[in-house]
Amino acid sequence: MNIVVTGSIAYDYLMRFPGSFKEHILTEALHQVSLSFLVEDMTKHWGGVAANIAFTMARFGISPKLMGTAGRDFPDYRRWLSEAGVDTSTVKQIDSVFTASFFCNTDEENNQIASFYSGAMALANQYTLAEALNGAQPDLVVVSPNDPQAMSNLTQECRDNDYRFVYDPSQQVARLDGNTLRHDMQGAYLMIVNEYEAHLICDKTGMTMDDLRQTIDLLVITHGGEGSEIYTNGDRIHVPAFAPTEIKDPTGAGDAFRAGFFTGLAYDRPLEMAGAMGALCATYTLEHIGPQGHRYNINEYVERFRQHQDDQGQLDVLLKHTVTS
């Protein structure tokens, strides 16, 4: 499949707070918040939703085209992604700005407070699929969090050209208004959101959960450690999570789930298997620091999967595309 993953490309600055945020947030004084958290450490990682998704997909022998805008500090990141198997030819480097940056503070209960500097991502609304693909026809376009106008432009371009697309607003749900969310999801083949985001979309658009299920051909709602629910053709498929051996950092787990799910679709696996593949990808990410810190190969992945679930040989196709590093 010719898969194009659009969205943010960023550097992640991850911090760890040795306490609980909720112990320092006074609900009766939320109108005047002034808080500072002294963190124990800070690490810098490759990140951005689109780049995270593309990186994990490349572990499975798929070379998705990463489409987005990055700044003058991107060359090292481009080399990292290219060596991992990601097609970075469709990343536009803009030398007048820096690459977007994500600053995230995680407490001991894995709650997170984050800020995002858009940088080069703010110019993504000037970059089209037509320019990036130069006449090539994609089989699937993933529209993940990006500059809000860029997301609207890309979903419209997909509709205009009859491209099959995934609408993945996730972190941008808080920023987008109801009319934009309604507009951008129209015609989407698939939407993946977590439970909170699904309820927020309903609140902003005035839609019910049933409305969402009827609007989107394939709707996936993730529930963290409780697994995920796949809704399609009036059916609901529950997919359990894979328990992690430990949780080092939750950043990027949702992106990894998406990558595993898209990989399952690319290899024409049943929806339940695609969901299970996403679940295990998310677990690997939870067990490592940073959204691109996992280094398993496909043999290890399949072996671990089969220790917990009988795939009835459905993952044999992956073993032909082993990534060894």
**Could you give the angle at the alpha carbon of 118 between the alpha carbons of 182 and 39, nearest 5°?**
110
Q: Report DSSP letters for 111-140, one per residue.
A: -EEEEEE-GGGGGGGG--HHHHHTT---SE
Instruction: List the beta bridge partners of residue 141.
Output: 4, 165
Would strands 65-70 and 165-167 be described as parallel, antiparallel, or unpaired?
unpaired
- Active-site residue, from 210, 255, 268, 310: 255
Q: How many CB atoms lie within 10 A of CB 192?
A: 27
| Token couple for 172 | 């941008």
Would strands 3-6 and 140-143 be described as parallel, antiparallel, or unpaired?
parallel
Name the one residue in this structure whose structure tokens are 């940073």.
Answer: 290
325 DSSP 8-state letter = -
**Could you give the angle at the alpha carbon of 135 between the alpha carbons of 133 and 139, nearest 5°?**
70
Amino acid type, 114 = A
Task: Look up 162 and say whether it is catalytic.
Answer: no
The span from the CA of 194 to the CA of 254, in Å, is 8
Give me Rg for the CA atoms of the chain: 19
Instruction: List the beta bridge partners of residue 4.
Output: 65, 141
By annotation, the residues acting in catalysis are: 255
